[in-house]
């Protein structure tokens, strides 16, 4: 697979601060997914808002879907891609510095930024446009213990309880920036993740999106 902006194999605690969080809606043929952006990841928040206002996401696809893992979209090349073409390498010519925050983790429903993997991106900078929603699967205490040892941090009791109750992908924590979460329509990512797909995990039938901000 030649995907550049990917990850091995985001709901999350609320962002802090007094400023009201920006809401947005992702519309697909399966329905609307309502989400919020965290104020404590301002670089990702402001970039996402800018792209939505410019219509960058409108007409793009959910181009990579994997059950019990995630659904990924936002590749600008997907707007004009031929059926079955490999996607995931498109970009906007810049990246976003990582904004890791222990309060924001990859529980089911998390919104996070895809990025280029490997030695070519040691600072783990995010793709300017590509993002994913965590579908996730059951999480065990030993999975969380392993991640704590890897990155030298501790999950709170509430985070552990949430992971074990609804699932997620903890092995991505502190490696990919989580910057928002789904607040309505969580069940739709299960539908998207379960569609028929090819060997590169692209859906056989295109799943297009439009993204609009919700006025505060």
pLDDT (tens digit, 9 = 90+) per residue, 92-143? 999 999 999 999 999 999 999 999 988 999 999 999 999 999 999 999 999 9
* Mean pLDDT across 34-57: 98
* Mean pLDDT across 85-96: 95
Q: Over 80: is that where the pLDDT of 153 sits? A: yes
Domain hosting 62: range is 5-214
Report the number of distinct structural domains present in the chain: 1
pLDDT score, position 18: 55
Report the percent of the chain where pLDDT is more than 70.
92
Residues 6 or more apart in contact with residue 195 via CB below 8 angstroms = 65, 203, 204, 205, 207
Q: How far apart are CA 29 and CA 135, in angstroms?
A: 18
pLDDT score, position 55: 97
CATH of the domain at 28: 2.40.100.10
Candidate from 11-20, 42-51, 150-159, 194-203 with smallest mean pLDDT: 11-20
Q: How far apart are CA 134 and CA 71, in angstroms?
A: 7
Q: What is the model's pTM?
A: 0.90
């Amino acid at each position: 697979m030649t995907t550049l902006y990917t990850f091995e194999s985001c709901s999350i605690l609320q962002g802090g601060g007094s400023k009201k969080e920006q809401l947005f809606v992702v519309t697909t043929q399966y329905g609307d997914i309502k989400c919020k952006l965290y104020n404590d990841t301002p670089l990702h928040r402001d970039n996402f808002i800018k792209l939505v206002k410019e219509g960058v996401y409108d007409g793009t696809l959910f181009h990579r879907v994997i059950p019990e893992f995630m659904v990924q979209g936002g590749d600008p090349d997907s707007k004009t891609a031929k059926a079955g073409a490999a996607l995931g390498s498109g970009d906007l010519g810049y990246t976003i510095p990582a904004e890791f925050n222990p309060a924001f983790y990859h529980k089911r429903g998390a919104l996070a930024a895809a990025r280029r993997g490997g030695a070519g991106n040691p600072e783990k900078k995010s793709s300017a446009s590509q993002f994913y929603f965590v579908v996730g699967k059951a999480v065990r205490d030993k999975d969380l213990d392993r991640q704590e040892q890897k990155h030298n941090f501790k999950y709170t009791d509430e985070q552990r309880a949430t992971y074990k109750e609804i699932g997620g992908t903890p092995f991505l924590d502190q490696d990919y920036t989580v910057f928002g979460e789904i607040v309505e329509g969580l069940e739709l990512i299960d539908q998207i993740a379960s569609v028929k797909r090819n060997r590169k995990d692209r859906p056989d039938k295109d799943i297009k999106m439009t993204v609009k901000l919700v006025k505060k």
